[in-house]
Amino acid sequence: MLQEAATSRRLGKGAKGAHGGAMVNVTAQDIPTGSLIAEQATQAGYYTDCFSCVVPGQVCLADYVTAFYTTPLFRAERLVLRLAARAPSTDAQARALAEGETERFAVWQVAARHDDEMLLAERSGRTKSWFKVAAQGADTQLFFGSVVVPVKAKSGKMVLGPVFDSLLTAHGLYSRALLASASRRLHHTRS
C-alpha cells in the first residue's frame, strides 16, 4: 500500500453502523498500490482518501456501485444534484453505469474502469470518486475513495481552496456513512 502523500489528509480511524444484525466497520486505509488513484495520492497538493469495509460473500464491482448509488442516503444527494446542478439520475441509470452500459451518471463520467475498480470524474474535473472490490477469502473488501484536484493560487502554490478545506471533515464522515450504507444495502439485497 502507498503511504498517502504529505499533502493528502487522513480522516479518523473507524466508523460503525448497523449491518443487518452485524456491525459495519468502516476504516481509513492507505491507497492500494497500483489502484486508479494511487498516482494522484503522491501528487503535491492533491487530496486523496480511502475507506474500506469487509462484507460477507463475493461482491462484484457492478453490484457494489449499484448498491452505493441506490442507498437512501445517496438518493438524497441525487435529489440535491437534480435540483442544484440540474443533473437528474435514476436507479436504472446507476445500474447501467455499474454494468458498463453507460459512461455518465448525474454529474460524473467514467474516467477509468477495470473489472475490480472504477474512477468517476465530476464534470468540473476537480473531484473524483473511486470504487474497488477485492476478494478476502470468502468475503469482499469494498473500497471507496475520493480525489480533489488542486488549483493554482495567486501565489503560484497548488491549493484545494477554502471551500474544499472547510468541508474535509464533513466529507470524511459522509464518505464513511455512504460506504456503510452501501454495505447494508448489499446485505439487504443478498439476504
**Domain coordinates of the chain in residue numbers?**
14-186
Report how far residue 167's alpha carbon sits from residue 160's, in angstroms, rounded to the nearest whole number.
Answer: 11
Give CATH for domain 14-186.
3.30.530
Torsion from C-alpha of 113, 118, 124, 126, nearest 10 degrees: -120
Amino acid 87: pLDDT: 94
In our burial notation (b when 16+ CB lie closer than 10 A, e otherwise), range 25-52 reads: ebbbbebbeebbbbebbbeebbbbbbbb
C-alpha cell of residue 9: 489528509
pLDDT lower than 70: segments of the chain: 1-22, 191
Amino acid 63: pLDDT: 98
C-alpha cell of residue 28: 481509513
**Helix runs in 33-161, H state only:** 38-41, 61-69, 72-84, 91-99
- The count of other CB atoms within 10 Å of the CB of residue 119 is 21
Amino acid 22: pLDDT: 54
Amino acid 20: pLDDT: 47
Amino acid 15: pLDDT: 41
